[in-house]
A and B are shown apart, each in its own frame.
Chain A
Amino acid sequence: MTAAVVVLVSVATFALLSALPGDPAVTILGPRATEANIAAVRRDLGLDQPPASRYLQWAGRALQGDLGVSYQTNEPVAASLRQRVPASLELLAAAQLTALALAVPLAAIAALRVGGRLDRAITTVTFLGLAVPNFGVGLLLIGIFVVRLGWFDTFGYVPFTEDPLGNLRGMVLPAATLALPLVAQYTRVLRNDLVVTLGRDHVTQARANGLPLGTILVRHGLRQSLTTLLSVVGLNVPTLLGGAVLIESLFAVPGVGRLLFNAIIGRDYLVAQGAVLVIALAAVATNLAVDVGVRLADPRLRRPAHR
């Protein structure tokens, strides 16, 4: 099933890229290239062959870890992906962890005071948070922290291993921008699930037998409700990995999203194909991880009842 997903994604990407107008050879050589030159470059790149055989060739090499060479930079695609993936992963992890760190306590508070003033406040704020356009938040943060306050003077990504502090400084704003709608989404999902869990019979029974609601929520409620949240967190991974182009452009983070964006614009097929493959693999890996996580959290899936 998972292999089928990866294959389907790569075939679809290939088909889509092949259908694009414009010729990579023309892009490489420029508008004044001669017919002969273009034909030569096309032959070099293998573009003169039918799409199906090109796909099979690409897939065969990809299985061995060879994703080809960029038309534009002549760099191996795998190498440039290796260069870009850490920044994207760091951004993704920072945003997800920040969002979870805020959303779990917020949802817990709201569920404990269900129907109360705090619950309504949290529900309303997260409701609004879902509607804020990402780029708007990014611009707002730049306006405040860069333009007005000058706390973050320059952007740009520095690898953590080179300059840990500089790396974190560069990550704060983009991670915050990405995290904001996630906080809203996660808080709502978890709060609603907790409300259902806390209304269950075994919670009433535990309360009637003297366990405070807060204790029940932490020891029994969260464990049950986290499985739903986990699935939502997993679903967000491909979007955050490949769809954060906007944030990456705004804050000059050299991530996979921007690489993909530029590759498609520049007809750099192999780079685009490689980037999509990485994203699809990440999505599939997350799905598997979520499945394992849900199984660990819910013994009914792990140890089916023996009759």
Chain B
Amino acid sequence: MSRRGPRDGSRLATGAALTWLALLAVAALTASWLPLDPNRQDLRNGRAAPSLEHWFGTSRLGEDLFARVVHGSRVSLVVGLVAPLLGLLVGGLIGMAAGTVGRWLDPPVTVFIDAAAAFPPLVVALGLTLVRGPGLSTVTTTLALLTVPLFARVARNATLDVMHRDFVLAARATGTGWWRLLTREVLPNVIIVLATYALVLAGLAMLVEGALSFLGVGVGTDKTSWGQLVAAGQGDLDRAPHLSLFPAAALMLTVVSLSQVADAVGGRWAQGGAGPLGRTGPRRHRLERARAVLDTGTDTGTGTGMNGGLAADAAPAELRLGVRGLHTTLGTAAGAAHVVRGVDLDLAAGELLGLAGESGSGKSMLARSLVALAPYGTVAAFRGSVRLDGRELLDGHDPTRHPTAVAARGRGIAQVLQDPMTALDPVARIGPQIAELARRHRHLDRRRASALAVELLQRVGVGDAPDRAERYPHELSGGLRQRAAIALALAAEPRVLVADEPTSALDVTNQAVLLDLLDELRGDGALSVLLISHDLALLAERADRIAVLYAGTVVEVGPAAAVHQGPRHPYTAGLVAAAPQPDRPPHQRLAVMAGSPPSPSAMPDGCAFAPRCPRAEDRCRRLAPVLEDRSEGGGHPVACWFPLD
């Protein structure tokens, strides 16, 4: 059974659009040779309904409407082709020049663009028609003139965007002339934006030509255009609506086709940086794919006999959070991505567990999976067990919906995201943002929630909290913003706080202060902390235990010092070696691991680290190792066939 892929729908539409446009071009080019006479009248057969002889019916005077529509396509083709092209040439050049040269050229161009926007297009159209008389060339010139400021605006904005990119800034700093900048850097980057826009404006030009011809100031009576045909049918709306309907439909179909092609061109160009929100196809398909992977239970990683390994890991006395065999798949256009692959984790009350790994190892997705949170715009399926104080969170019948996990967001497990610059709503005051969560989770009234927000800000060490609560995020420093984000996460009195790279955007002093704060918060055992970081040394200093994540699975877990000082997994060893350390002699090259983590949608057989591992043997490429402690005592669990001991 073949299933339609997610992109097929849009590809089909683009194909249909191109076919229609091609057909139109052929019709317009060959219209004069076709055996279709748009002007032969047959007064006895006026306003005839569509028939085999007259496909679109006949006009009031008995002219064949199909022939007239085909001939009308010539006007649309000329208008849609020539006007945007002229406008693009002139407007594009003006806009790019203004954006590149800046200083003296930009202000007058901006005034020109603003004035053109305030100028009624009708005046231009009417004026030109009166000066030059109606006709195709007048309409085309008018439309070209009207598109000039539009192209100029788009070109200027796109140019300014390019001019502020790093590589152009560098080129400017080294004194590259503006002409060179324009032709080498700006033009190649802006041209695709302009081309896409030209396709949209081509459709718009056809619509406006229709409107002008409809008003009687268009191409003139000696030519046929779709707008004219619609207008001509106006009087017969009650008797013969098809007279207006067919030419209007032809016009509409053409405009839609042009927009579809523009979308396809623009989309193809934007695909590189589209991210997870790029065209990911219908939700239904992604959902099915995400589920399919979970249903077949493709446990490519560890996580089969998980508990055995952890038993040796000095199991924490009072278990706050217990994760067993957690799997997460994201449905994407490219297929299912298995991003969390059988993770086992324990977190004791009051414990600070460090979660280490490179970017792309699935750290953040693991954190979101604890509360069944799919990134916006994606569909994710979660399977396995997450127990918070003994209560199962992943209890949904549908792997994409887990109501208990959703209810635990904030109240049970709260999260602080990595970048304090973007972790708060930029257009809302800090205090009310915290109060909003407090009201929701603690059922406080407005006044009490505001008071609590100030109290929380004080608790995380924000000085002058009553004043700071009234401020917007951009008015605070990075360190203060990060504290505010933590206060936000504390608003619901969570039992587990997940801090995702909370220090990566801070300077060293602020880092230390923030980590002290996390230590302090867990002091009385009420709060457990999962601290996610790529910095193993930092975790070794602050965490009770460290779990190392690679390709969505835990490859090593143990007491912080043991993992840092005596890593057993080659990957952990690589992480340790890649970090600068004070006790190593200076001026020594840091060891950098070759390669990068495998793509979650294309996991290798066997051990996921094998392709990068210096110790890998044949067995590693065939069989995936399980997280366990096979040492003769004194070791900790590791998922490796040949651990370093």
Contacts and interface: CB of A to CB of B under 8 A. Distances in A.
Contact of B284 (A117, A133, A202, A235): A117
Interface stretch (B170-178, B252-260, B346-354, B589-597): B252-260
Nearest to A272: B123
Given A21-B130, A205-B415, A223-B427, A260 B120 contact: yes
A276 to B, nearest CB: 6
Contacts of B417: 201-202, 204-205, 208
A202 B426 contact: yes
A246 B371 contact: no
A36 interface: no
B241 A211 contact: no
Interface stretch (A44-52, A101-109, A279-287): A279-287
Contacts of A283: 117-118
B123 A136 contact: no
A42 interface: no
B506 interface: no
B426 A199 contact: no
B203 A300 contact: no
B485 interface: yes
A131, A200, A201, A223, most chain B CB atoms within 10 A: A131
Interface stretch (A3-11, A54-62, A67-75, A165-173): A3-11
Interface in A232-255: 235, 238-239, 241-243, 245-246, 249
A195 B274 CA distance: 12
Contacts of B251: 133, 136
Contacts of A211: 410, 436-437, 440
Given A16-B127, A202-B423, A205-B485, A235 B117 contact: yes
B205 interface: no
Contacts, number: 248
B283 A219 contact: no
B413 to A, nearest CB: 8
Contacts of B5: none
B492 A261 contact: no
Given A202-B426, A203-B376, A8 B115 contact: yes
Contacts of A208: 368, 371, 373, 409-410, 414-415, 417, 498
B597 to A, nearest CB: 22
A114 B286 CA distance: 12
B282 interface: yes
Given A12-B119, A134-B211, A257-B122, A210 B475 contact: no
Contacts of B322: none
A135, A260, A297, most chain B CB atoms within 10 A: A135
A246 B120 CA distance: 13
B215 interface: yes
A178 to B, nearest CB: 13
Contacts of A117: 282-284
Interface string B396-412: 00000000000001110
Interface stretch (B94-102, B227-235, B579-587): B227-235
A264 B115 contact: no
Contact of B115 (A9, A249, A306): A9
Contacts of B437: 206, 209-211
A305 interface: yes
A119 B131 CA distance: 48
A276 B419 CA distance: 50
Contact of B409 (A17, A115, A209): A209
B117 A114 contact: no
A114 B252 contact: no
Contact of A195 (B277, B475, B485): B277
A79 interface: no
B527 to A, nearest CB: 14
A115 B377 contact: yes
Given A131-B256, A147-B237, A303 B485 contact: no
A195, A208, A219, A279, most chain B CB atoms within 10 A: A208
A300 B127 CA distance: 44
Contact of B118 (A114, A132, A279): A279
A276 B120 contact: yes
Nearest to B200: A130
B105 to A, nearest CB: 15
B281 interface: yes
A156 interface: no
Contacts of B120: 238-239, 241-243, 257, 260, 276, 279
Contact of A8 (B111, B207, B475): B111
B34 interface: no
B469 interface: no
Interface in B177-206: 203
A204 B376 contact: yes
B119 A276 contact: yes
A80 interface: no
A63 interface: no
A292 interface: no
Contact of B227 (A133, A205, A219, A305): A133
Contacts of A203: 376
A264 B127 contact: yes
B411 to A, nearest CB: 6
Given A224-B426, A243-B122, A264-B123, A131 B252 contact: yes
B210 interface: yes
A207 B117 CA distance: 41
Nearest to A146: B237
A284 B423 CA distance: 37
B161 interface: no
B256 A128 contact: yes
A43 interface: no
Nearest to A302: B472
Nearest to A238: B118
A143 B237 contact: yes
Nearest to B114: A5
Interface string A24-56: 000000000000000000000000000000000
Nearest to A249: B215
B425 interface: yes
Contacts of B375: 199, 204
A297 B427 contact: yes
Contact of B416 (A205, A276, A303, A306): A205
Contacts of B488: 205, 209
Nearest to B276: A199
B31 interface: no
Given A115-B283, A127-B259, A219-B436, A16 B237 contact: no
B425 A202 contact: yes
A220 B255 CA distance: 36
A199 B112 CA distance: 36
B72 to A, nearest CB: 13
B441 interface: yes
Given A16-B124, A135-B227, A265-B126, A205 B117 contact: no
Contact of B427 (A119, A249, A276, A300): A300
Interface string B609-637: 00000000000000000000000000000
A182 B118 CA distance: 18
Given A202-B423, A283-B117, A135 B214 contact: yes
Contact of B282 (A115, A209, A242, A272): A115
Contacts of B418: 201
Given A114-B376, A115-B282, A239-B121, A306 B214 contact: no
B522 interface: no
B373 A207 contact: yes
A106 to B, nearest CB: 18
Nearest to A267: B130
Question: Nearest 5 pairs between A and B by C-beta?
Answer: A210-B410, A242-B120, A283-B118, A131-B255, A208-B415
Given A117-B283, A209-B415, 9 more contacts: A20-B131, A117-B282, A120-B282, A135-B227, A204-B368, A205-B489, A208-B371, A223-B427, A238-B120
9 contacts: A133-B230, A133-B252, A202-B422, A205-B416, A208-B368, A211-B410, A220-B425, A276-B119, A279-B119
